[in-house]
Each structure stands twice: as structure tokens, then as C-alpha cells.
């Protein structure tokens, strides 16, 4: 595919697809603008080239109709501040009024169109809707990695109708870290996979076990593996229907010579709440009516030693219920261990990047992905529809 810096943008109408699906509080204030800031390199490059910039994005799930609480107005306001330039917001993303605003757009100016998902045709990859979006563009740039695993009109269908298509700088970085770096990693290569359920990351585990030198499994999903080893895990989360596949992954690791590490102790409680009484026990001694909610201190020490010798580290998923302080120490310890390592550290989005930010270590990570679902699918070895669409474009 081509990238933004390989396409002539001078005075062209450049239509950017960004992922500005940012969290908002009840007062419509943005609580985390990392996805907006991630778009700045591509936007500033286009503006420096004298482009007429048009932005499309989605926010939330309005299900095909206008929902005022899901307007992109707060995004346009924040982006105006970050660019130090007025970002106008159209009332819709298609229609005569939008066409007029696009026609009147001058070089160096920015126009944001309203939420794509106000139209149900966006998510069904409707061909006519894609054509209507495409008519605004001389050049189409997709920089919405967080949506790249979806086949929608604004990131797949549109590429058939714009002559010049390419990827932005954010998309380029994501592809570089999740494809190129993981294809030929500097070794030892360690994957740290956490989160609550094995079912959410089964394909990722199966794909990665063939690529890594060591794998750490933590979070709620570790208890399915512990149960597969014949341990009693009390009321800890386990997916009994996946115990057989957990055994297969353990067997694969052994056959491939991959060292697979599971928790050796854990923080347990009778309920998942901040007031619960907690204890630290070896994983062989979890009480029948208690549940494991975080890794314990001995496990933290073990995982630190594994991390210390790594040259490439991929992390996706917390080590416990880190949203509750009593069960956050394991995740926090892993964050600090990665930050203090001399490895290339890749954070796979979602809850993991929240944990890194809470620990104040964002600047000490090599790369933090903006796309949880998209990065997971890349880790599963899948081809993302939006990337495939760009690769098919003939500029």
C-alpha cells in the first residue's frame, strides 16, 4: 500500500478516516484523548502540504440514527485546541449541505463531518453510501487502525471510488509493530497475555505460541490453565469447555520448547469488591469458596525475572481486576517491570493501555496500540479488511 507521504496532497481534498471513538463523561467531556493526539502527525503533515482536510469518524453505537450524546462536537472542539486551528463540524456526513461545505473548503482548513454511524449504511458497507463519501475526496487516507478489523463503507467500500488511497502515519506504525516487528523479533521474545477469558484470546495464544520464546499467562484466564493442570481453583473464573484446548496449548509449548509461565500464587477474596477481605495463597491452596483476583508477590517476582531477560515484549491483558485497588498490584508491577526493561515493549491496547497510563509509564513504552480488537486480530494472524482494501488500491 501507499502511505500519506508518498501521495501528492497539495491543495487536494484529503478525506481522512480516523478512529475518534473516544470516551465521554456524562457532561460530554472527553476523558481520554489519546486517539485524537495519535492523529496529529498525519493531520499536521497534510496541513503543511496545503491540503483541504475533511475528517470522518464514528463515535459510540447510535445504531443508524442521530443521537446527540454521540455527536463528534466534543472531538471537533478538542482537535481545534490541539491543532490551534478552527475545526468546523458539519451537521451530517453526507448530503447537499455537506457538499457545499466541502466545495467551499480552502487549502489549510479543516472540516469534520458528523458521526458516520448516524447512518446504518456505514456498518453494512453499503456501496451507495461509500460512493457519497468518496465524492468529497481527491485523496483518501485511512488512519483508523482501531476500526481496521471492520468492513465498513468508510474504510473498505470507499477505496473503490477514490483514485488515490493510502494509509496515515498511525496506521503505518501499527502495521510496523504488529506485523513486521513480530515477524522477525529480536530474541528472546516474550508474550504476556492476560485478561479474563481464554475464549477472547484463544486464537492469539495458538498463533503466538509458535512465535515466542517465552509466554506468561495471567489474569482470570490463567485459572482455566491451572484447572487444566488438575488444580482446584475455588470460585475463580474458569471456562470448563476450553480446558481441553488449554491442555493442547500447554502441550504445544512443551513440544516447541517454549517456556510457559502461570501464576504460582494469587490474591484471593470471597467476592470481587473493594471491601472484601483478601489473602495471598499458593495456587495449590485456593479455598473452595474464594476466587483468585490478582497474581501474588511470588508470581510478581517470577514474572519480573522473565521480563528482565527479554529483548522484545508484547503485552495484552491485565494480570487481575486492576480497576479495584486491592487487586491492582500485579498489573502495576508488570507495567513497571516493562518500563524498566531494555526491551522493545509493545502494548496491545484495550485495558492494558489504561493500566500503563494509570501507572504513569506511558512514555517508557516503545509503542502503545490504539486498537484493541484490531491488534488482537493481527496477533491471531488475520488480515484486516481495511488494510487489505488499501493494498488492493491502484494509485
Q: At 151, list the grid cell.
A: 468492513
Going from the C-alpha of 91 to that of each of 72, 98, 192, the distances in angstroms are: 10, 8, 44
The residue assigned the cell 495456587 is 283
| Residue of 60, 64, 108, 373 marked catalytic | 373
350 noted as active-site residue:
yes
Point out the catalytic residue in the list 197, 247, 279, 311. Answer: 197
- Of 35, 117, 201, 227, catalytic: 35
Q: Are 17 and 140 in contact (CB under 8 A)?
A: yes
- Give how far Cα 191 sits from Cα of 175, 347, 362, Å: 18, 10, 19
Q: How many residues does the chain have?
A: 395
To the query of whether residue 61 is one of the catalytic residues in this protein, the response is no
Residue 282 near residue 233, CB atoms below 8 Å: no
Which of 395, 353, 372, 390 has its CA nearest to residue 172?
390
Is residue 197 annotated as a catalytic residue, yes or no?
A: yes
- Is residue 219 flagged as an active site residue? no
- Residue 321 CA to residue 330 CA, distance in Å, equals 9
Catalytic residues: 35, 197, 350, 373
Amino acid at each position: 500500500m501507499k502511505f500519506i507521504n508518498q501521495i501528492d496532497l497539495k491543495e487536494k481534498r484529503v478525506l481522512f478516516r480516523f478512529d475518534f471513538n473516544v470516551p465521554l463523561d456524562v457532561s460530554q467531556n472527553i476523558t481520554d484523548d489519546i486517539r485524537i493526539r495519535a492523529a496529529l502527525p498525519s493531520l499536521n503533515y497534510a496541513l503543511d502540504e496545503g491540503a483541504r482536510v475533511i475528517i470522518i469518524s464514528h463515535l459510540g453505537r447510535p445504531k443508524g440514527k442521530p443521537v446527540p450524546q454521540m455527536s463528534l462536537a466534543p472531538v471537533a472542539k478538542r482537535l481545534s485546541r490541539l491543532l490551534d486551528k478552527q475545526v468546523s463540524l458539519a451537521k451530517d456526513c453526507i448530503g447537499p449541505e455537506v457538499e457545499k461545505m466541502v466545495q467551499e473548503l480552502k487549502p489549510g482548513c479543516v472540516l469534520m463531518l458528523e458521526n458516520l454511524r448516524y447512518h446504518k449504511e456505514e456498518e453494512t458497507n453499503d456501496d451507495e453510501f461509500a460512493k457519497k463519501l468518496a465524492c468529497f475526496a481527491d485523496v483518501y487516507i485511512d488512519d483508523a487502525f482501531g476500526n481496521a478489523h471492520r468492513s465498513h463503507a468508510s474504510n473498505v467500500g470507499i477505496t473503490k471510488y477514490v483514485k488515490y488511497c493510502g494509509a496515515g502515519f498511525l496506521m503505518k506504525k501499527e502495521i510496523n509493530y504488529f506485523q513486521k516487528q513480530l515477524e522477525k523479533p529480536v530474541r528472546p521474545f516474550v508474550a504476556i497475555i492476560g485478561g479474563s477469558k481464554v475464549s477472547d484470546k484463544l486464537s492469539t495464544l495458538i498463533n503466538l505460541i509458535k512465535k515466542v520464546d517465552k509466554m506468561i499467562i495471567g489474569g482470570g484466564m490463567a485459572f482455566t490453565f491451572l484447572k487444566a493442570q488438575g488444580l482446584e481453583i475455588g470460585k475463580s473464573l474458569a471456562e470448563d469447555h476450553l480446558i481441553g484446548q488449554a491442555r493442547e496449548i500447554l502441550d504445544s509449548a512443551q513440544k516447541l520448547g517454549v517456556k510457559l509461565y502461570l501464576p504460582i500464587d494469587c490474591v484471593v477474596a470471597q467476592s470481587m469488591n473493594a471491601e472484601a477481605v483478601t489473602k495471598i495463597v499458593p495456587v495449590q491452596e485456593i479455598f473452595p469458596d474464594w476466587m483468585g483476583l490478582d497474581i501474588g508477590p511470588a508470581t510478581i517476582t517470577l514474572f519480573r525475572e522473565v521480563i528482565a531477560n527479554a529483548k522484545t515484549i508484547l503485552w495484552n491483558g491485565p494480570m487481575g481486576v486492576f480497576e479495584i485497588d486491592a487487586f491492582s498490584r500485579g498489573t502495576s508491577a508488570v507495567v513497571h517491570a516493562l518500563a524498566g526493561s531494555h526491551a522493545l515493549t509493545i502494548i496491545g491496547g484495550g485495558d492494558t493501555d489504561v493500566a500503563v497510563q494509570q501507572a504513569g509509564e506511558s512514555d517508557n513504552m516503545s509503542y502503545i496500540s490504539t486498537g484493541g480488537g484490531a491488534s488482537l486480530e493481527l496477533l491471531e494472524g488475520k488480515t484486516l479488511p481495511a488494510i487489505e482494501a488499501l493494498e488492493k488500491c491502484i494509485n
